[in-house]
Structure 1
Amino acid sequence: MCWLMLCNFMIGYDSSYGSIMDFTITVTGMDLYFKRHDGQAVTCEEFYAAMRDANGANFHNFLLWYSQAGTPSVKVTSSFNAEAKTYSLKFSQEVPPTPGQSVKEPMFIPVAVGLLDSNGKDMPLTSVYHEGMLEPISTNGQPVHTVVLQVKKKEEEFVFSNISKQPIPSILRGYSAPIRLDSDLTDDDLLFLLAHDSDEFNRWEAGQVLARKIMLSLVSDFQQNKPLVLNQKFVHGLKSILCDTSLDKEFIAKALTLPGEGEIMDMLEVADPDAVHAVRSFIRKHLASELKAEFLSTVESNRSTEPYIFNHSSMSRRTLKNVALAYLCSLEDPEITSLALHEYKTATNMTEQFAAMVAIAQNPGKARDDVLADFYNKWEHDFLVVTKWFALQSMSDIPGNVENVRKLLKHPAFDMHNPNKVYSLIGGFCGSPVNLHAKDGSGYKFLGEIVVQLDKINPQVASRMVSAFSRWRRYDETRQALAKEQLEMIASANGLSANVFEISSKSLAG
């Protein structure tokens, strides 16, 4: 990661403040690198030295990325001075202590930054004041729209000049460094970036940060029995992305994908799978309803009767169409189900056929049962496809899905002695927070029984399955008691393998 990060710094923007080195200088460094080390087994430090020595570049404390553990946390605060026409970004960084490294040095962190005006356009950047010096920012004498600020100290300030109006900052463009960023951007700022940022990563990130905030707020409302209401500005922001034909279709698909339920539960003091699932389902249905016409148009415009082609254009087309279809099917509308069945039956490749089946399988009913049966009949002789078929059903969030999984244990294609089949069916079930952590304990009971049974067949695989209990203390007291009961049952089973006993006992010990 750090080697790639260094390369990205070097071939970035052609400016003393735009990147560490421009493309020409990078070539010079690569020439020296091959001259020194061609045919040798070399280290990252030798690559670093070649780039530094060929160009006299200052990479002070960059190698800490290799020697210092932990992910830096960076806080950014901004201020605008209308009278002086300046805009300031203040950075502070901290690397959390880790075993054996209680005291950490400041890291070399490249932060790509752009500023947006009130119309959502990138503002031209001409100079930045830093450490007592006013440095010009230009490419062949022309202003630039993105600069890479080199944050090297615990606290640093960069001041942009000739900024006549309050901008919205786009920080960490292109994910220029693997850090945890905390900024003073407001929700309105994030909504603005979601709708207008020219940098696709930051546009996506703004949507993810907003979605996490919205989901956490709605989880709180759900737990207090308050009505769920989705911020319409968020809907409009996603609509602007969905309708922007200039954007890459794969990016649109990713931008429309909400954070997963596991990610949101990790942000709660006490994990609540029912509330998180209800909120995520509510948002998906609301978006599908509000943007129904746009999603239908997306499905229609991204159909293809051409043979399967493996390239970016075709893959992104399929991805966007499949995301739109999945949203629509969340509405549980018979007309939409007919549309999805049509997509399933007319698909020219398994990718789109499987995606249509996934969309239909969200909801219980005859259509789901028929499609699952038809798909199996077509692909029953393909081991890998049948494995995916098992996983799709086992990880379903349909209420009470544990009984469906029990039935699949008896399916002629399932074999408890085959690790891949176990991972797809049992591992897939563990990937459904709603059913694994069912309030009645049915998911825990099922998994406990399977672990004991599986331990006699393949202890290594059984130990992987019992790991699903490892975070049982993250849940409410009722779920904790039910999970603990199963862990105690597993740990006390006769003839238990050392692998499973170690994980179950450690989980109990906390």
Structure 2
Amino acid sequence: IYNKGAELIRMMATILGPVDFRAACDLYFERFDGTAATCEDFVRCMEDAGNVDLARFRLWYSQAGTPRVSVSLDHDGGRATLRLAQHVPATPGQVDKQPMVLPLKIRLFGAETGAPLGPEQLVLFSEVSESIVFDGITERPVLSINRGFSAPVTIESDRTADDLAFLARHDDDPFARYEAMQQLMLDTLVAGTIEGRADHQAVIDAVADTLDNPALDAAFIAEAVLLPSEAFIGDQLSTVDPEAVYRAREALRADLGRALADRWREVYEAHTTDKPYEYTPAAKASRRLRNVALGYIAASGAADAAALAFRQFERADNMTDRQGALTTLVNGDSDLREAALDIFYNRYAGNSLVLDKWFQTQALSTRDDTPAAVAALAQHPDFTLANPNRARSLIGAFAVNQRAFNQPDGAGYRFLADQLIALDRLNPQTAAKLLPPLGRWRRFDPARAALMKAELERIVATPGLSKDVFEQASKSLEG
């Protein structure tokens, strides 16, 4: 609710512009400061001060669901035509949805020159479909859309891998540039998952360009070059195949690591410093990028990756660097893995919140033996379901580790169900919040789906089950 509310206010700010939006906020406080006000009161102030009609915009408050916007761009001679179509998927209790008001910031770039073909424009898209014509476009255009995340929508476009790679290099809007890189990676990973292999070169080139661009700051680079998560890749598939997703993602990570091995080393060294810890944006960005580079060095199979990570682990004067190194080691097979885990545990055994990180890091490991390791950690003297944070750090983290949790034998499902039944007696609210991974059973193959459904039925049939968990499990079984 709070996230959606923030997005709606931001969209109204985009529609009104900064001057009118400030005037509308001033009017809102003038009218309602110190009183109980409603969302309708706020919207009315936007209308009065901004001289706009937001009647259709109010659908955002009454209709659930994320709009999906299909986008295509045609170029013929000196004219480009942008075609937009929107669909709001059905949600429980709401089937036939009306089109929403979507403020979409767009800009065209020349495919040959990389230069903008005109200024950024704001399109208020409020119909089922609409076409926008741009004249005087002599160069093939590439579309940058939803710049600045101007609307909380899902964009489905016909942009090619070359177009996405182009935007990842040339787009002057950080959000659109990041989205282009992520979409390029996602398309490649989905293809690799479905077909068993994919051409990684476009992604490698785009990442190389990003690493080599001196105009980009470290914080942006660190996020842009990270691959989409296994769970997000699975969300794009009609049926999730955890092993295929894992193989496709690891193959791309390894190729990025090997193809750009020298660059990752350069980045790692450039952001390694002997200066004392600083809590500044620049220092935080540097630490983040250093850990990303370390992960890719390890993914390349470099012989010294574990030693490099362990040296960072030992010398770290902050948790970001220490846990980043630990994560790299925990995902690998080096003997230094166990040494780092022991050192971390002994150092922070008296700090409950930090020890949560020790459990969580192992629960999220990509190793084949993670399910067995998590089962053993559930018997660890420092693990207790009575501590909600500790339960989330191990049980919750394991349940979102897509490959480890969804092993074909169903051991992960049984483990989670056992833990939730036990947790329900201590903390029903936390147990209910950890149950949703089992509720995704329809997204998997029939064998896994049957095993997940059986565990949900076992939970529902448990005597004395709390109302919280019963409702969550029952709804998961129903739909």
Instruction: Give the TM-score taking structure 2 as reference length.
Output: 0.90
SS class of match (1:74): strand
Letter in 1 for 2:370: N
1:412 paired with 2:381, answer yes
Q: Kindly provide the CA deviation profile for residues 417-475 of structure 1, in whole angstroms up to 9, marking residues without a partner as x.
A: 32222221222221222222212333234334434444455454444445432223432
Structure 2 matches for 1:294-443, cutoff 5 A?
294-443=263-412
Q: 1:209 corresponds to which residue?
A: 183
What residue is the counterpart of 1:284 in the other structure?
A: 253
Q: Alpha carbons of 1:4 and 1:407: their partners in 2 closer, same or farther (altered >3 Å)?
A: closer
Q: Which residue of 2 aligns with 1:158?
A: 132
Query: Which residue of 2 is the match for residue 90 of structure 1?
Result: 83
TM-aligned CA deviation for residue 290 of structure 1: 0.8
Change beyond 3 A, Cα 1:436–1:7: closer
* Counterpart in the other structure of 1:15: none
1:234 pairs with 179, 184, 203, which one?
Answer: 203
Unaligned runs of 5+ in 1: 13-19, 126-144, 223-227
2:142 to 157, 168, 175: 168
1:80 is matched with: 75
Shift of 1:495: 5.5
Distance in 1, Cα, partners of 2:357 & 2:146: 37
After superposition, the Cα gap between the structure-2 partners of 1:80 and 1:463, relative to the gap in structure 1 and judged at 3 Å, is closer
For 1:180, the aligned partner's letter is T
Q: Quick one: distance in 2 between partners of 1:154 and 1:467?
A: 33
Question: Which one of 59, 67, 83 corresponds to residue 62 of structure 2?
Answer: 67
Deviation (angstroms), 1:349:
1.1
Which one-letter code corresponds to 2:89 in the other structure?
P
CA distance in 2 between counterparts of 1:500 and 1:150 reads 43
Q: CA deviation at 1:58?
A: 4.7
Count, aligned residues: 477
Question: Which of residues 252, 255, 260 is equivalent to 2:229?
Answer: 260
Q: Is the 8 A contact 1:284 1:327 kept in 2?
A: yes
C-alpha distance in 1 between matches for 2:355 and 2:381: 11
Matched, 1:114 2:102: no
**8 Å contact kept, 1:299–1:324:** yes
CA distance in 1, matches of 2:315, 2:280: 21
Structure 1 stretch displaced more, 147-156 or 170-179 = 147-156
Tell whether the 8 Å contact from 2:161 to 2:202 is kept in structure 1 after alignment: no
Residues 104-134 of structure 1: CA distance to partner in whole angstroms, max 9, x if unpaired?
3332211101111134534242xxxxxxxxx
Is contact 1:77–1:183 with CA below 8 Å preserved after alignment?
yes
Question: 1:202–1:349: structure 2 CA closer, same or farther, 3 Å change rule?
Answer: same
Letter in 1 for 2:314: K
- Contact 2:110-2:117 within 8 A present in 1 as well: no
Query: Which stretch of structure 1 is more off in the superposition, 319-328 or 487-496?
Result: 487-496
Instruction: Quote how far apart the aligned CAs of 1:287 are.
Output: 0.6
Measured after TM superposition, the shift of residue 155 of structure 1 is 2.7
Change (3 A) 1:116 1:477: same
Give, in angstroms, the shift of residue 284 of structure 1: 0.8
Q: Is the 8 A contact 1:402 1:446 kept in 2?
A: no
Alignment equivalent of 1:42, drawn from 33, 37, 44: 37
- Give CA-to-partner distance per residue, 1:26-78, whole Å, 9 cap, x none: 44434433433343333333333333323433545222222333322222222
Structure 2 CA distance, aligned partners of 1:81 and 1:480? 49
Residues 467 and 49 of structure 1: is their aligned pair in 2 closer, same or farther, counting only changes over 3 Å?
A: closer
For the residue of structure 2 that corresponds to 1:334, the secondary structure is coil
Q: How many Å separate the matches in 2 of 1:328 and 1:151?
A: 45
CA distance change for structure 1 residues 358 and 89 in 2, over 3 Å: closer, same or farther? same
Of 72-81 and 202-211, deviating more is 72-81
1:220 maps onto 2:194 in alignment = yes
Asked whether the equivalents of residues 109 and 117 of structure 2 are also in contact (C-alpha less than 8 Å), the reply is no
Shift, 1:503, TM fit: 4.7
2:104 partner SS? strand
Q: Residues of 2 paired with 1:416 and 1:80: CA distance?
A: 60
CA distance in 2, matches of 1:288, 1:187: 21
Contact 1:113/1:169, CA 8 A, preserved across alignment: yes
Deviations 1:150-177 (A, max 9, x none): 2233332222233222211111111111
1:230–1:283 contact (8 Å) kept in structure 2: no
Shift of 1:93: 2.4
Query: Higher helix share goes to which structure?
Result: 2
Which is greater in Rg? 1
8 Å CA contact 2:165–2:181 kept in 1: the answer is: yes
Contact 1:30–1:51 under 8 Å retained in 2: yes
Cα 1:242/1:358, change in 2 over 3 Å: same
Separation in 1, partners of 2:68, 2:38: 27
CA distance in 2 between counterparts of 1:2 and 1:247 reads: 30
Question: What's the TM-score once normalised by structure 1's chain length?
Answer: 0.85
Give, as a single letter, the amino acid of the residue that structure 2 aligns with 1:186.
Answer: T
Tell me how far apart the structure 1 counterparts of residues 57 and 472 of structure 2 sit (CA, whole Å). 38
Q: Percent identity?
A: 36
Residue correspondence of structure 1 range 439-450 to structure 2 within 5 A? 439-450=408-419
Is 1:193 the counterpart of 2:193? The answer is no
Q: Please tell me whether the aligned partners of residues 62 and 107 of structure 1 are also in contact (alpha carbons under 8 angstroms).
A: yes
| Structure 2 CA distance for partners of 1:427 and 1:196, relative to 1, 3 Å | same
Determine which of 234, 246, 262 is the counterpart of 1:293: 262
**For residues 477 and 50 of structure 2, what CA distance do their matches in structure 1 show?**
56
C-alpha distance in 2 between matches for 1:101 and 1:190: 35
The structural deviation recorded for 1:376 is: 1.1
Q: Secondary structure at the match of 1:340?
A: helix
Residues 70/392 of structure 1: CA separation in 2 closer, same or farther (3 Å cut): same
Q: Shift of the alpha carbon at 1:383?
A: 0.7
